[in-house]
Amino acid sequence: MKIDVVQDAKDHTYTLAVKIDQFKTLRDYEVLHNLVNAISLDFDLDPEISVEDLKNIVVEAKKEEATEVTVEIGPDGIDVEFE
């Protein structure tokens, strides 16, 4: 699984981007979930997002014919989008 991770040092945010076609097994969802949790700790955030939530997001993204899921993590919280 390929996950693009970009850190914006100025805003102190992280953006994780994953192509929808990268989600093939449960392990793929778990890897993204673990990465979100690890980075969230840097901001003392409780991500409150589960593997099941990620699965639902990917299903919705596929319905909308999106190609990528992005997760932005920063001091203001966590934002998950697809495009």
Q: Is 20 helix (H, G, I), strand (E, B) or coil?
A: helix
Band of residue 47 on the pLDDT scale cut at 50, 70, 90: confident
Of the candidates 71, 3, 73, the residue with the CA atom closest to the CA atom of residue 81: 71
What local confidence, expressed as pLDDT, does residue 57 receive?
97
Residues in the chain, total: 83
Domain boundaries, the chain: 11-82
C-alpha to C-alpha distances, 70 to 14, 17, nearest whole angstrom: 10, 4
CB 45 within 8 A of CB 36: no
Q: What pLDDT digit, counting tens, does each position of 8-28 carry? A: 999 999 999 999 999 999 999
pTM (two decimals): 0.92
Q: Is 80 helix (H, G, I), strand (E, B) or coil?
A: strand
